[in-house]
A and B are shown apart, each in its own frame.
Chain A
Amino acid sequence: MNKNTTWLFKMAWRDAKASRVRLLLFMASIILGIAAVVSIQLFSANLKDNIKLQSKALMGADYIIDSKQEPTERAQALIDSLQPDAKEINFVSMIAFPKNGGTKLVKVRGLGGDFPFYGTIDTQPSAAADTYQDKGGALVDATLMLQFDVKPGDSIKVGAVTLPILGALKAIPGSTAISTSVAPPIVIPYEYIEQTDLLQFGSRKEYQFFYKTDEPIDLEQFEDIIDPQLKAEEADLDTHTSTSERLGRRYDNVGKFLNLAAFIALLLGCIGIASSVHIYIKEKLKAIAVLKCMGASRMQSFLIFLIQIAGIGIVGGLIGSLIGIGLQELFPYILQDFLPFSVEISISAQPILIGIFLGLFMSVLFALLPLLRTWYVSPLEVLRVDEKGAQEPRKLRYVVIGAVLLFLFLFSFWLLNDALFALGFMFATLIAFAALAGVATLFIKGIRKYFPKRWGFTARQSLLNLFRPNNQTVVLVVAIGLGTCLISTLYFTKDILLAKTEVDQSTDNANIIILDVQSEQQEAIENRITENDLSIVNSIPIVTTRIHKIKGRLANELRQDTTKQMRNWVLNHEFRSTYRETMIDSEELIAGEWTSHATPNAPIVISISDNLAEDGIDIGDNITFNVQGVLMETTVGSIRKVDWRQLQPNFNIVFPAGALEQAPQFRVISTYVPDEAASAALQRDLVAEFPNVSIIDLRQVYTIVEDILDKVSWVINFMAFFSITTGIIVLIGSVRTSKYQRIKESVLLRTLGAKNGQILKISAFEYLFLGLLGSLVGVLLALISSLALALFLFKEPFTPSFIPFLVFLPGITVLVLAIGLSNIQTVIRSSPLEVLRREG
């Protein structure tokens, strides 16, 4: 290092020492953002490594063949030829605990063979996983056991079979806490499935066959050959590699969201740095002019301050990275309910280097505009102040702004891996910042134009502070507004999502749905419901059908046609259809005419859902259905738009009344129960007598949905914390920076005889205006963005909650006020002379 460089570092250090509190605040602005980015980067890297390493353990096998129905003859032949090492039948059903009469909808998994081949079934006691097959017992979801207060040794009734509970099931390859919330799993030996008597007509079930390859094979090539053959038979092959890739992609999306949230926090911090450095450099201009008088070159003066900012960036990046390393340990806990495996945390160098690079690069980039002013300071400013003297050329300013935007785009592109999304994110960020800055600017202009001249001295003085030279009104409004906007949007969005799941308390809407009711059980079940003083809300017949021929072409023929525009699932799917005279609330006619009754000796006129119409099926098209062996000619008469999100049975194909009454069918019956006790009593009665039916208590589902949303919002809140805390730090930094500008003025006011109370009032009003303006704009922006989310994403009516207006708005205003008033304490506590001397 030559003498000149050493001197530059020495000067940077000397100057920084005297401004350490402010520089530390600048640094603090970026620390949290970097900590967030690094922790998420590290966690994502660990997650990917873990998925790769645990790929087989996640699936429990090398590959699985599954089918949502009993495999066809050809599929079974293929499955057998590959010699499965284990198999499973699973279905959703009701179980009962004889100990206390408790009933619950569960996912019954009948496992045969030595599954899993990789990873383990985690049970308590641990030996239960190895012995349940031989001993003929059940493994029951650990949470379920806690809920119903059952212990190993108690028994469980699954359909017609009662089995001893051998252990609590804590984890099984391929399941997450969230995925098992609605129907928690129980595992029983395969051979007991038949005895349960639950696999009746119409039951939804899944057949799985697990394979372990002894010799290494190219699974990708294997999948390419076998999967199409299985797909033709409505079965499916999943290899551990493709499954873990899919899993990786799913968590990649979560990672992208988390990364963007972290990036916003970092961006906010950088805006804070830019604004603080702007004031900081402005105060240094005189000193820079003195240095130039003494012979310092433009480059030297520029580098002294660049070194300071770069130093802040590097140290901030390092501290942020270290905090990030600590924080990433939290993610496995935060996301544990969403992950099907435990994440082993290890530290890699790359995210830490990224953190340091980000700290350095972003602080320098965002501070570059104010830093460039040092270059253009004339030494003449020592003798006279020239406000316009130290302006960088406009072209240069545009180049720097261009560089900032380019970096924003490149960084978001790196995070999202999609140019269009990156561009969208960049513009959304720009719009949010521009909206906040625009409102602040308009507000300042408005006050200037319509200045309330009749107000008292203190109120006028505080308003004047909002547009004084070097004011930070815009930056403060952006910082306060963005923070408020983030938390309010989160709150409103959560509201929209929860409003969707609220149970309608009116008796017109069912809250208990009974599935898989066989025709011969219908009357008895309906009687049982009415005996419980409940009414039948709906009793919907369901007939399973398949497409045999469509527009004159056989489904088999169409499957082979590579030029067809129709998705395969339409041709392969077993449709659960119904017949009725009218449409229901969740449906809207968008084309054709609704036919209520079938006309004898004429093709039956059916109605299809809009998603089927997307596959090229239109009004007037002929479709021949295979209704359990009987072919039925139909014509499409209408197309319905179906709201699939409504928790009630919805159908792709609806037949008119008089068409399917004689076909083999089962029913879905729904009723309304007023409370939990009535629900439990009904479930107990029905499960005891009709073990094959499944009962969904919508209130429980809503509770689970609410619980999931709580967990999701906890993750979102955790990410918002970074932005909000960064916002507060930027706020403190900005207020602290403004301290140096206004302290002399306050002291002068005191010298002229202003009382402490008046000075306090001036500051209080000013920060009150700032807090109110920032938080109000923030809440309003949140309102607009939430309305957009409700309209375009969730497609739900939006009734905004008052909480952001009643809690966030005053809360944040008070916080701003408190920070602002703490700033003025130095003035209040010191004598005017002391402060004047100290401030130089």
Chain B
Amino acid sequence: MPKILNITGLEKTYSSGNKQLTVLQNISFSVEKGQTFSIVGPSGSGKTTLLGLCAGLDQPNSGSIELCGQDLSTLNEDERAQLRNKNVGFIFQNFQLLPTLTALENVSVPLELQGHKDAVKNSLALLDKVGLADRVHHYPSQLSGGEQQRVALARAFANAPSILFADEPTGNLDEETGEKVIQLLLELNKEAGTTLVIITHDLDLANRTQQILRLKGGQVLTNERTAVL
């Protein structure tokens, strides 16, 4: 299978006062196109930092990241933004909807950034798919946590991304709502063939993905395929 994300020898350090803090060390792995992939590990293991690097939100100190066939180190910030707009979707633990935009406007933004003609029509269809057809003109503050995450889901899939990064997508939801969101996420992945990279504490959720990367202390502990096909 072709690789959509290829990480080699990744290292990331932060300076804290006079000290250098190594967050990630010698990380290498790859994700196949259309695969569901989870990254698990205890708090402080470097999961979120790794996600930020993989999506081109930050730059490593050393190592290389190849996303959708592009070496991220050769791109500047705006070029990386363009790459994200065309190929990447995001879901965050805190939903990260734009508070001043309605549900429909939030979903439309990635399409509008691409200059898509039918941004509104497509966004309405996506919101309908996540069961929010009657909440399209509501602002995030007028929606429940589950509804906000479903809007985030619709937004993440709006630009038909090749790869979707989800950071603790159910972390702020109750079990029942969380399950519904995961179901939706996996369904959309199946329908659109989108690669799914999920960061989670939840081992049950991780076990529903095809491959699990375990991190500890900024290093890869294991990288194993699961029984999921």
B126 CB within 8 Å of chain A: no
Interchain CB contact under 8 A, A382 and B57: yes
Q: What's the dominant secondary structure at chain A's contact region?
A: helix
Cβ of B86: which chain A residues have Cβ within 8 Å of it? 295
B101 CB within 8 Å of chain A: yes
In the complex, what distance in Å separates the CA atom of A119 from the CA atom of B109? Answer: 69
Name the residue of chain A whose CB is nearest to the CB of B77: A298
Cβ of A293: which chain B residues have Cβ within 8 Å of it? 55, 57, 84, 90, 96
Interchain CB contact under 8 A, A298 and B78: yes
Interface segment, one of A15-23, A460-468, A573-581, A584-592: A15-23
Cβ of B84: which chain A residues have Cβ within 8 Å of it? 293-295, 379
Query: From residue A659, how far is it (CB to closest CB) to chain B in Å?
Result: 90
A459 CB within 8 Å of chain B: no
Interchain CB contact under 8 A, B110 and A294: yes
Interchain CB contact under 8 A, A838 and B58: no
Interchain CB contact under 8 A, A382 and B101: no
A354 CB within 8 Å of chain B: no
A748 CB within 8 Å of chain B: no
Indicate with 1 or 0, residue by residue over B91-127, a CB within 8 angstroms of chain A CB atoms.
0100011111100010001101111000000000000
Cβ of A253: which chain B residues have Cβ within 8 Å of it? none
Name the residue of chain A whose CB is nearest to the CB of B141: A840
B82 CB within 8 Å of chain A: yes
Given A293-B57, A382-B57, CB of A14 within 8 Å of CB of B81:
no
Interchain CB contact under 8 A, A294 and B48: no
Indicate with 1 or 0, residue by residue over B29-57, a CB within 8 angstroms of chain A CB atoms.
00000000000000000001001100101
Interchain CB contact under 8 A, A14 and B100: yes
Interface segment, one of A263-271, A284-292, A344-352, A602-610: A284-292
B140 CB within 8 Å of chain A: yes
Interchain CB contact under 8 A, A383 and B52: yes
In the complex, what distance in Å separates the CA atom of A287 from the CA atom of B23? Answer: 26
Cβ of B57: which chain A residues have Cβ within 8 Å of it? 293, 378-380, 382-383
Which of A10, A293, A837 is the most central at the interface, judged by chain B CB atoms within 10 Å of its CB? A293
A662 CB within 8 Å of chain B: no
In the complex, what distance in Å separates the CA atom of A454 from the CA atom of B100? Answer: 43
Given A18-B139, A838-B141, A840-B140, CB of A295 within 8 Å of CB of B113:
yes
Q: How large is the interface on A (under 10, 10 to 19, 20 to 34, 35 or more residues)?
A: 20 to 34
Interchain CB contact under 8 A, B99 and A297: no
Q: Which of B58, B85, B100 contacts A380 (CB 8 A)?
A: B58
B167 CB within 8 Å of chain A: yes
Interchain CB contact under 8 A, A14 and B78: no
Interchain CB contact under 8 A, A295 and B82: yes
Name the residue of chain B whose CB is nearest to the CB of A300: B113
A3 CB within 8 Å of chain B: yes
Interchain CB contact under 8 A, A10 and B112: yes
Cβ of A4: which chain B residues have Cβ within 8 Å of it? 115
In the complex, what distance in Å separates the CA atom of A293 from the CA atom of B80? Answer: 9
In the complex, what distance in Å separates the CA atom of A450 from the CA atom of B154? Answer: 53
Interchain CB contact under 8 A, B96 and A14: no
Interchain CB contact under 8 A, A291 and B90: no
Q: Which of A18, A294, A383, A838 contacts B100 (CB 8 A)?
A: A18
Given A293-B57, A295-B81, A297-B81, CB of A380 within 8 Å of CB of B52:
yes
Query: From residue B13, how far is it (CB to closest CB) to chain A in Å?
Result: 15
Interchain CB contact under 8 A, A837 and B141: yes
Query: From residue A324, how far is it (CB to closest CB) to chain B in Å?
Result: 32
A583 CB within 8 Å of chain B: no
Cβ of B77: which chain A residues have Cβ within 8 Å of it? 298
Cβ of A217: which chain B residues have Cβ within 8 Å of it? none
Cβ of B141: which chain A residues have Cβ within 8 Å of it? 837-840
Cβ of B109: which chain A residues have Cβ within 8 Å of it? 11, 291, 294
CB contact list, B138-152 vs A, under 8 A: 139-141
CB contact list, A419-443 vs B, under 8 A: none
CB contact list, A307-330 vs B, under 8 A: none
Name the residue of chain B whose CB is nearest to the CB of A284: B100
Interchain CB contact under 8 A, B100 and A3: no
Cβ of A382: which chain B residues have Cβ within 8 Å of it? 57, 90, 92, 96
A296 CB within 8 Å of chain B: yes
Query: From residue A372, how far is it (CB to closest CB) to chain B in Å?
Result: 15
In the complex, what distance in Å separates the CA atom of A577 from the CA atom of B90? Answer: 96
In the complex, what distance in Å separates the CA atom of A837 from the CA atom of B58? Answer: 32
Interchain CB contact under 8 A, A15 and B78: no
Query: From residue B21, how far is it (CB to closest CB) to chain A in Å?
Result: 13
Cβ of A286: which chain B residues have Cβ within 8 Å of it? 96
Given A295-B81, A299-B78, A379-B57, CB of A14 within 8 Å of CB of B115:
no
Q: Which of B100, B159, B167 contacts A19 (CB 8 A)?
A: B100
A7 CB within 8 Å of chain B: yes
In the complex, what distance in Å separates the CA atom of A319 from the CA atom of B140? Answer: 33
Indicate with 1 or 0, residue by residue over B52-76, a CB within 8 angstroms of chain A CB atoms.
1001011000000000000000000
Extra contacts, 4 of them, besides A18-B100, A294-B90, A295-B84 (Cβ < 8 A), are A294-B110, A295-B88, A378-B57, A383-B92
Of the A-B pairs whose beta carbons lie under 8 Å apart in the complex, a sample of 19, sorted by A's number, is A7-B115, A15-B100, A15-B101, A18-B101, A18-B139, A287-B98, A290-B96, A290-B98, A291-B109, A294-B110, A295-B83, A295-B86, A296-B113, A378-B58, A379-B57, A379-B84, A380-B52, A382-B92, A839-B141
A interface residues with partner B (beta carbon < 8 Å): 3-4, 7, 10-11, 14-15, 17-19, 286-287, 290-300, 378-380, 382-384, 837-840
